[in-house]
Structure 1
Amino acid sequence: MQAGFIGIDIGTQGARVILVDQLGGVIASTSRSFILDDMAREEQSPMMWWDTCTMLLDEMLDGLPANMDKSTIQAVSVTSTSGTVIPLDSNNQPVHAALMYSDGRSAAQAKRIHKIASKHIKNGYVGFNASCGISKMCWFMEAYPDKSDTIALWIHAADYIVGQLSGQYQTTDYTNALKSGYDLERLEWPPYLINKLGVKKEWLQTVVPSGTVVGSLRKDLAMQWGLKDVRVVVGITDGCASQIASGAVKLGDWNTTIGTTLVIKGVTKNQLIDPLGRLYSHRHPEGYWMPGGASNTGADWITMNFPSDIAKWNQAAEKLIPTGKVAWPLLQEGERYPVSVPYARAIIPEQISKQELYAANLEGVACIERLAYEIIEELSGEKIVAVYTAGGGSNSDVWLRIRASVLNVPIYKCKAASGALGAAIMAASNTYYRSVTEAASQMTTMEKEVYPDDRLVVQYEKQYQQFKQKLKALNYL
């Protein structure tokens, strides 16, 4: 019998909802952009998110085939941005607009929190910056002292939609709680939040593993949409949802998403502690750890410098690899991972044609990816044996071949890895399935498997070592 699961993705620019079956097959989906003002990177209306969400659910569920039995829809979950927070009053109404992860006004508070946290947390996340929820909470207390007495609870973006669906606002998950100061090692809100920062204990949510059922769909909404017995599952952050949708959820699995930037996430037995702060670890629902990091290097250089006829550039690269050139297509000044160097600049080989530069840049990103994984292996003591991949950069066959040969591991390209699908998998993880590992294994599909090319592996080993030597010569490594 078919079972259905709804995933909701509340992004910065818009929202998407998806309905999939127990094997991850898409039954229906729809999306809509938000109408945003100039303040949208700092503040957004949670009510606007909910209004958009209900419109999309109306549209999707009303448009289902007449012969589909809606009673097969079993659960719903939500993903949204990490670090976005909302103060609620005692009636669960927003005291203020949502403070977005991209709001930089809490930079000064973040520096103070980082210093305090470093003294109180030995093995855990202390890399607080302006994008973190706890920084925004402290900023709000200072900017709006008159509103502090009206706050009953601080919640995250995904929690607001979960609350609107179920009436339960009090619960959040491991991934959302991390950047609000929750200690994932001890599984507690650390005392310094209250004793040193002035956060009230009653403002802090109950924290549970991602995938936990927190309630049922409100009766009025169930009647409106013609649904029965739909369970509501706690939310999850967008980066973790995408990782889950890629299929990289088992111990030893790793995912590289190449979009504008390169993001690496994986699953390890032990928490990964990076003294340089380049990486941090989420808690896996099954007790493992989900470390990850993000580079400023990705595929944005293609959009900027090779915007037309990408197939032509890829065909040319096929004939030119390995180039033997050391290149690094870093568009902006500064890199954060795998090297933390604010003054880093692009490396552009001299006397090189544009076709060669394109191919060399593909190789350069692959070298950055390998260096990132070498650091992970060094810090975790665990071996990388395969990499799942997603994002626009994974659509290039020649790039997949380069990356598999530079990394010298198989690369598995997933068919679909959207945040909404990740949320739907989480909805199924403890309702239809017994775990997120089981759910992801059944609900994700690999589109392509790419293995290292033995001829390229030998030559890329030399080129990679030259790449590292160049970084050392520039004092980047």
Structure 2
Amino acid sequence: MDQYFIGLDVGTQGARVILVNQNGELIASDARKFMLDEHFREEQSPAIWWKDCYEMLRNLFQQRTNDIDKNQIRAISVTSTSGTVIPLDAKNKPLHPAIMYSDGRSAEQGKRCREVALKHVKDGYTGFNASSGISKILWFVETYPENAKHIAKWIHASDYLVGKLSGNYHATDYTNVLKTGYDLTYFRWPKYLFEELGLQESWMQEVVPSGSVIGKLNKELAIEWGIPQIDVVVGMTDGCATQMASGAVKPGDWNTTIGTTLVIKGVTKKKLVDPLGRLYSHRHPQGYWMPGGASNTGADWISLDFPTDLDMLNKAAEGLIPTGLLAWPLKQEGERYPIMAPLARGFAPSDLSQEMLYAANLEGVAFIERLAYEIIEELSGEKVAAIYSAGGGANSAIWLKIRASVMNVPTYKCKEASGAFGAAIMAASNTYYSSLMDAAAAMAKVEKEVLPDPELHAQYEIQYQQFKLKLKELNYIS
């Protein structure tokens, strides 16, 4: 008999809920946009989140699941934005709207947090800035000292939804606490948070592995929705949930998501420490590490420079590769990973046809991706075994072929690589399956396997070395 799992994704402007079975097959889904004001990138009302999520879940159970046995629904988990935090009072009521990850008002506090962390943290995360939860906590305490007297607990965005579902607001997971200052090596809140930054230890949550069951669904909600008191599984950050959905969950597996930017996340056996701060590592629930980094080079150049006739351009590119040309379609000034160059600018030969420039740009992004993975292999001492590809960039068959041949590893296109699906996998990971890796193996589906073309790889090896030489000549890499 099928078992069912719910994934809830609360994003910046809306939310999505899905119901899947133990094989990862989509049974039902719903989505909606939040009614937000013009300040939504700084602050949002958690009550708006809950109102829409409550209504979606109610509709899901009452209108879209008539053909399944609702008694076989097992668990629910939540994903949401990383770095968004909420202060709660002693009755678990928000003292202030959610302070969003995209709120830049805590830039000065972020700088101070980083300076203090660098004095105390040898090989952990110190990359605090305005988007970090710890920076926003410090900003709130210093900006609203009277309200700070009433703080009982600081929680993250997904924790609020988990709390509304289960009543437990006091637990969070490994992924949410990275940017709140938690030490993922020694599993503790470090003393400098309290002794030098002036925070209170009582404000901090209990931290458990991602996928942990932290309660049961509120009895009144279960009765209203006509389902059992299912397990509620601790939430996680949206980037990590997408990684789970891609299937990149065991050592050697990596996920590249190409959207506006290029985001790389994977799994290593050993902790990866980047002295330049380009990469940071989450903790895998099974004890491994999940390093990741983000590049400013992605697929934004396609919508900006090639808004139409993509089918024609992709077909043309098939007959033009390898182009032998050096192009880098960076559309803004500055790059952060794999190159740290705040003044970097993209480049391409002049007087190219649209088709040739498009093909050369596809190759240029693949070269940036390979450079990113070379750094990962160098720092970790571990080989990249496979790449699971997601995002809009994975929809181009010729781009997948180029990337697989440049990297010389199998590349897999994911069928469903969304935050909500990743949350559903987490919901199943310790309630039906024995681990995250077992759940992902059964539920994450590969839509297409692309193997490297040996002849194309040999030609790209020459072109890639020329690409790196060009970056050196421009002083973008040493």
TM-score class, shorter: over 0.9
- Looking at structure 1, the residues matched to 253 and 156 of structure 2 have their Cα atoms a distance apart, in angstroms, of 28
| AA in 1 matched with 2:142 | E
Q: Deviations over 1:211-242 (max 9, x none)?
A: 00000000000001001130000001000000
- Looking at structure 1, the residues matched to 130 and 277 of structure 2 have their Cα atoms a distance apart, in angstroms, of 15
- Looking at structure 1, the residues matched to 424 and 300 of structure 2 have their Cα atoms a distance apart, in angstroms, of 29
Equivalent residues, number: 477
Point out where structure 1 has 5 or more consecutive residues left out of the alignment.
none
Q: Which residue of 2 aligns with 1:414?
A: 414
Q: Deviations over 1:237-283 (max 9, x none)?
A: 00000000000001111110101110000000011100110000000
- Looking at structure 1, the residues matched to 340 and 88 of structure 2 have their Cα atoms a distance apart, in angstroms, of 37
| AA in 2 matched with 1:56 | M
- Looking at structure 1, the residues matched to 139 and 67 of structure 2 have their Cα atoms a distance apart, in angstroms, of 52
Q: Deviations over 1:141-182 (max 9, x none)?
A: 111111110111000000000000000000000000110000
- Looking at structure 2, the residues matched to 185 and 290 of structure 1 have their Cα atoms a distance apart, in angstroms, of 13
| AA in 2 matched with 1:397 | A
Q: Which residue of 2 aligns with 1:365?
A: 365
User: What is the CA distance between 1:67 and its match in structure 2?
Assistant: 3.8
User: What is the CA distance between 1:350 and its match in structure 2?
Assistant: 2.0
Give yes or no for the alignment of 1:133 onto 2:120.
Answer: no
Q: Which residue of 2 aligns with 1:474?
A: 474
- RMSD (Å) for aligned C-alpha atoms: 0.7
Task: Map 1:345-424 to 2 at 5 A.
Answer: 345-424=345-424
User: What is the CA distance between 1:191 and its match in structure 2?
Assistant: 0.3
Whether the 8 Å CA contact 2:184–2:283 is kept in 1: the answer is: yes
| AA in 2 matched with 1:180 | T
Q: Which residue of 2 aligns with 1:178?
A: 178
Task: Map 1:77-476 to 2 at 5 A.
Answer: 77-476=77-476
After TM superposition, the runs of 4+ consecutive aligned structure 1 residues lying more than 2 A away are 64-67
User: What is the CA distance between 1:355 and its match in structure 2?
Assistant: 1.0
Q: Deviations over 1:163-216 (max 9, x none)?
A: 000000000000001100000011100000000011111100000000000000
Whether the 8 Å CA contact 2:218–2:229 is kept in 1: the answer is: no
Q: Deviations over 1:104-151 (max 9, x none)?
A: 110111111101001111110001011000000001111111111011
Q: Secondary structure in 2 aligned to 1:452?
A: coil
What's the % identity of the aligned pairs? 66
Q: Which residue of 2 aligns with 1:6?
A: 6
- Looking at structure 2, the residues matched to 375 and 358 of structure 1 have their Cα atoms a distance apart, in angstroms, of 26
- Looking at structure 1, the residues matched to 85 and 10 of structure 2 have their Cα atoms a distance apart, in angstroms, of 13
| AA in 2 matched with 1:429 | S
User: What is the CA distance between 1:36 and its match in structure 2?
Assistant: 1.5
- Looking at structure 2, the residues matched to 30 and 312 of structure 1 have their Cα atoms a distance apart, in angstroms, of 34
| AA in 1 matched with 2:69 | D
User: What is the CA distance between 1:64 and its match in structure 2?
Assistant: 2.7
Q: Which residue of 1 aligns with 2:45?
A: 45
- Looking at structure 1, the residues matched to 210 and 237 of structure 2 have their Cα atoms a distance apart, in angstroms, of 10
Whether the 8 Å CA contact 2:28–2:65 is kept in 1: the answer is: no
| AA in 1 matched with 2:294 | A
User: What is the CA distance between 1:348 and its match in structure 2?
Assistant: 1.7
Q: Secondary structure in 2 aligned to 1:331?
A: coil
User: What is the CA distance between 1:414 and its match in structure 2?
Assistant: 1.0
- Looking at structure 1, the residues matched to 179 and 20 of structure 2 have their Cα atoms a distance apart, in angstroms, of 30
**Residue 332 to residue 430, structure 1, CA distance change in 2 (3 Å):** same
Task: Map 1:20-39 to 2 at 5 A.
Answer: 20-39=20-39
Normalised by the size of structure 1, how large is the TM-score? 0.99
**Residue 304 to residue 217, structure 1, CA distance change in 2 (3 Å):** same
Point out where structure 2 has 5 or more consecutive residues left out of the alignment.
none
Q: Secondary structure in 2 aligned to 1:235?
A: strand
User: What is the CA distance between 1:65 and its match in structure 2?
Assistant: 4.3
**Residue 215 to residue 136, structure 1, CA distance change in 2 (3 Å):** same
- Looking at structure 1, the residues matched to 352 and 444 of structure 2 have their Cα atoms a distance apart, in angstroms, of 41
